[in-house]
Structure 1
């Protein structure tokens, strides 16, 4: 018996709901991003090299959310059609990782933009990236009509880039206190 509620399996069984859930959650999360990305807090920070225009994020995330949602649909189909307990268990674990990464993904925006905790958000996105890689590996071995890896590889790549951006905002916008000037090459640099 899976620790996931049956409703989460039902959502993933319906391809429209499977794709719509992450897109809808992402759109709701984007509301926070939109307001704060125009705020003085964000616009006065130094962006890392390679930071794209803010208009790129909405379309990219919409595509990635749709792809990950469809991968969850393929995973629940593999769960339903598994002929061995090992196949059922692998698909169940992949779905657990899917919903865990979705929760971590939805947490990043409130951490970075809502609470303005870019360091905590960096820890979150690193945990998210590790979870997505584990999920991608777990889903890769499933018996699905299309390899879920093709749906998840762009997400893995984007998370690597997003982690770099988050780390860049942390590094380039550190608060400097007494005795920490050496961290950014102040007068006391070694």
Structure 2
């Protein structure tokens, strides 16, 4: 009975974290698709700007890694609820970037949001590291992608 309940609990918490994490993806994606064009196409872009098709697979992978990271952390004995709250707050900033950038076309404010987001990701990595090293490692690709996004966002500001 215990193993069955434990499995059910782990499955349900994974589904819950998946739904919460991907809700950020859904909101950000809807904001992007709805308000991106024609504004974004008319911007001067740096030579290293990725093609549009790359963003879907990259973000799907990153949201999946984030989900697994928080789920593994959740199922540790030493979890701290403040870390879970920071995870949820970071998702708000993740979504906010898409809204600020694509809906309001405010690249400078989007850059500020991105800086805060990266600070939250680093905070999460350090918190995860104390309790579940794998969770910390799973956040590194996300940190790297968002670091690249700062370079890209800054380049778009400078070119436009």
Note whether the superposition's TM-score is higher than 0.5: yes
- Name the residue aligned to 2:90: 101
User: Which residues in structure 2 correspond to 1:42-81 (within 5 Å)?
Assistant: 42-78=40-76, 81=77
Q: Which 4+ runs in 1 deviate beyond 4 A?
A: none
Q: For the residues of structure 1 that align with 2:121 and 2:154, how far apart are their CA atoms?
A: 18
Q: For the residues of structure 2 that align with 1:13 and 1:149, how far apart are their CA atoms?
A: 22
1:102-121 alpha-carbon deviations (Å, 9 max, x no partner) = 11001011100001111100
1:31 deviates by 1.7
Considering only CA atoms, is the larger Rg found in Structure 1 or Structure 2?
A: 1
TM-score scaled by structure 1? 0.73
Q: For the residues of structure 2 that align with 1:47 and 1:75, how far apart are their CA atoms?
A: 38
1:71 deviates by 1.1
Gaps of 5+ in 1: 1-9, 83-87, 174-190
Q: 1:169 to 1:58 in 2, by over 3 A?
A: same
Q: For the residues of structure 2 that align with 1:38 and 1:65, how far apart are their CA atoms?
A: 24
1:115 maps onto 2:104 in alignment: yes
Q: For the residues of structure 2 that align with 1:153 and 1:111, how far apart are their CA atoms?
A: 24
More helix by share: 2
1:89-110 alpha-carbon deviations (Å, 9 max, x no partner) = xx22321221111110010111
How many residues align structurally?
152
Q: Which has the higher contact order (CA 8 A, sep 6+)?
A: 2
TM-score scaled by structure 2? 0.86
- Residue from 112, 116, 126 that aligns with 1:127: 116
1:59 deviates by 1.1
